[in-house]
A and B are shown apart, each in its own frame.
Chain A
């Protein structure tokens, strides 16, 4: 299969995952409980994507001061709390990481 066909198949699948469940003709009724449960999806997913990057640099679990990803992430948490500004938080956080990681 050539590369473009693969890219197209993947694009269709990703698009479907974003689009399909919003379609009104789909007989999908969400109970109050399910809707309540779904409010936890964003923090859960974002955390589950970030965690392996932070705790497994070089694919090895590292919970120590030598793990620059972990140290910089703690700084980012503090920055987010203190500044309440996404842009400042990310830019300063990346700077800290760059300094640590030199």
Chain B
């Protein structure tokens, strides 16, 4: 495996600076997920979890899509096996992320692997992946990850409090916030033809598999789109 390049700091001051830089980099995404966090908190209450459990979803699981999926299943009285299989499908993309980050993180000390692993969300991956930063900066990643964790949990708390007071919070179309955030993250990633093709393929294949009820569509659309982008780059972009 290629050894990654690291940013090394000698003074604590520079570490703090990098930490803050990471927090600032993830700030826009954190603001953007506030509606989604509020929705997650309020839906958890609505689905019958108590406030502490609702906060626990965000505090210990820390994965929006998984949280939304399991609260419905818990409410419906689903068994642990079917809950875990569904979670495995939804969370499977994290295997991809950690495989990508492996070259950057695997040689760090255990405490770094444990904490950056816990914080590795879609959002942190979006700002800290090697495509964005060829030189890995652990303090930058930690700052971004922790700031996002804090933001997500505060938004959840607001949702829990609001959810106990406002009915029909979910009819406000807060789910559009998820789509808007992800689109805002995707567009700047499209730096060459193969990436555009990958995104278009993911869109079309998702639509088709959702339409035909192939569930979860994620598991079909993602490998196909990655492969199409990769093969196009190899054939036409000389990689």
Which of A's residues lie within 8 Å of B, judged by CB?
1, 3-11, 13-15, 17-24, 28-30, 33, 35-56, 61, 68-69, 72-73, 76-77, 79-81, 84-87, 89-91, 93-94, 97-98, 101
Kindly list chain A residues whose C-beta atoms are within 8 Å of the C-beta of B173.
68-69, 97-98, 101
Q: Judge whether B20 is part of the interface by a CB distance below 8 angstroms.
A: no
Q: Which partner residue on chain A sits nearest B56 by CB separation?
A: A7
4 nearest A-B residue pairs (beta carbon): A19-B117, A87-B28, A80-B187, A47-B202
Question: A81: which of B35, B102, B130, B187 is its contact (CB, 8 Å)?
Answer: B187
* Residues 59-92 of B at the A interface (beta carbon under 8 Å): 60-63, 65-66, 70, 74, 80, 83-84, 87-88, 91-92
Kindly list chain A residues whose C-beta atoms are within 8 Å of the C-beta of B49.
3
| A36 adjacent to B239 (CB under 8 Å) | yes
Task: Provide the bound-state CA to CA distance between A81 and B188, in Å.
Answer: 8
Which of B's residues lie within 8 Å of A, judged by CB?
1-2, 27-29, 31-32, 35, 49, 53, 56-57, 60-63, 65-66, 70, 74, 80, 83-84, 87-88, 91-103, 105-107, 113-114, 116-118, 120, 122, 125-126, 129-131, 173, 175-190, 194-195, 198-199, 201-203, 205-207, 210-211, 217-218, 221-222, 225-227, 229-230, 233-234, 239
A9/B84 contact (C-beta < 8 A), A48-B225, A84-B188 known = yes
Task: Provide the bound-state CA to CA distance between A97 and B203, in Å.
Answer: 20
Task: Provide the bound-state CA to CA distance between A14 and B91, in Å.
Answer: 6
A51/B93 contact (C-beta < 8 A), A22-B117, A46-B185, A97-B173 known = no
Task: Provide the bound-state CA to CA distance between A79 and B80, in Å.
Answer: 43
Question: B102: which of A6, A8, A21, A53 is its contact (CB, 8 Å)?
Answer: A21
Kindly list chain A residues whose C-beta atoms are within 8 Å of the C-beta of B189.
42-43
Task: Provide the bound-state CA to CA distance between A72 and B178, in Å.
Answer: 12
- Dominant secondary structure of chain B at its interface with chain A: helix
Kindly list chain B residues whose C-beta atoms are within 8 Å of the C-beta of A48.
202, 205-206, 217-218, 221-222, 225
- Distance between A49 CB and nearest chain B CB, rounded to angstroms: 6
Q: Report which residue of A10, A50, A73, A91 has the largest number of chain B beta carbons within 10 angstroms of its beta carbon.
A: A10
- Dominant secondary structure of chain A at its interface with chain B: helix
Kindly list chain A residues whose C-beta atoms are within 8 Å of the C-beta of B2.
35
Task: Provide the bound-state CA to CA distance between A47 and B2, in Å.
Answer: 28
- Distance between B138 CB and nearest chain A CB, rounded to angstroms: 12
Task: Provide the bound-state CA to CA distance between A43 and B2, in Å.
Answer: 23
In the complex, 23 of the A-B residue pairs with CB atoms within 8 angstroms, ordered by the A residue number, are A4-B56, A9-B80, A10-B66, A10-B83, A13-B87, A14-B62, A15-B117, A17-B94, A22-B116, A30-B103, A36-B239, A43-B190, A43-B198, A45-B93, A47-B182, A49-B218, A69-B179, A80-B183, A80-B187, A80-B188, A86-B28, A86-B185, A86-B188
